[in-house]
């Protein structure tokens, strides 16, 4: 229901007004990767469930999960997992009261971006 007493007061600023900053982008990406990991988790659970259901259905699902497209999805899932984990570490540091200035916060943002890519490559090499 609209507020009839609103008058000519301006609207609050929103995403079309603010210039994107590294901290806002990395925060949004943490939320996106968290939700994307739900999809990855469902795929892994599906794969495990069909492993218990029988060889025919498992062969079909395993063929998809281990295909080129499945490898891309799982590799991106590893990237999302590392990125989300590093974002969690950053928030733990912030919760402890450290790194709240803009310069340190930006360094941690870049550390998340670069670190997640590096850790993903190390993980994929180790597999």
Instruction: State pLDDT tens for residues 56-110.
Output: 999 999 999 899 999 999 999 999 999 999 999 999 999 999 999 999 999 999 9
Which pLDDT score, from 0 to 100, does residue 51 have? 92
CA distance 23 to 35: 19
Closest CA to 79 of 113, 104, 105: 113
Task: Inform me whether the pLDDT recorded for 12 exceeds 80.
Answer: no
Residue 84 assigned to a binding site: yes
Question: pTM for the complete prediction?
Answer: 0.81
The alpha carbon dihedral of 57, 61, 62, 63 has a sign of positive
Q: How is the chain split into domains, by residue range?
A: 22-126
Dist CA 32 CA 14 (whole Å): 19
**CA–CA separation, 75 vs 80, rounded Å?**
9
Give the separation between CA 22 and CA 83, rounded to whole angstroms.
14
CA distance 114 to 86: 10
Average of per-residue pLDDT across 23-32 = 94
For 35-54, what is each residue's pLDDT tens digit? 999 989 999 999 999 999 98
CATH code: domain 22-126 is 1.20.1300.10
Angle at 97 between CA 119 and CA 83, to 5 degrees: 20
């Amino acid at each position: 229901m609209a507020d009839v007493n609103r008058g000519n007061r301006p609207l609050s600023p929103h995403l079309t007004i603010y210039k994107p900053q590294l901290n806002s982008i990395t925060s949004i990406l943490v939320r996106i990767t968290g939700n994307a990991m739900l999809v990855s988790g469902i795929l892994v659970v599906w794969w495990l469930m069909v492993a218990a259901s029988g060889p025919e259905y498992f062969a079909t699902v395993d063929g998809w999960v281990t295909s080129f497209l499945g490898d891309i999805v799982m590799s991106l899932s590893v990237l999302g997992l590392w990125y989300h984990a590093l974002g969690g570490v950053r928030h733990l540091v912030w919760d402890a009261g450290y790194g709240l200035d803009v310069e340190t916060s930006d360094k941690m943002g870049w550390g998340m971006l670069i670190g997640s890519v590096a850790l993903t490559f190390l993980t994929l090499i180790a597999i």
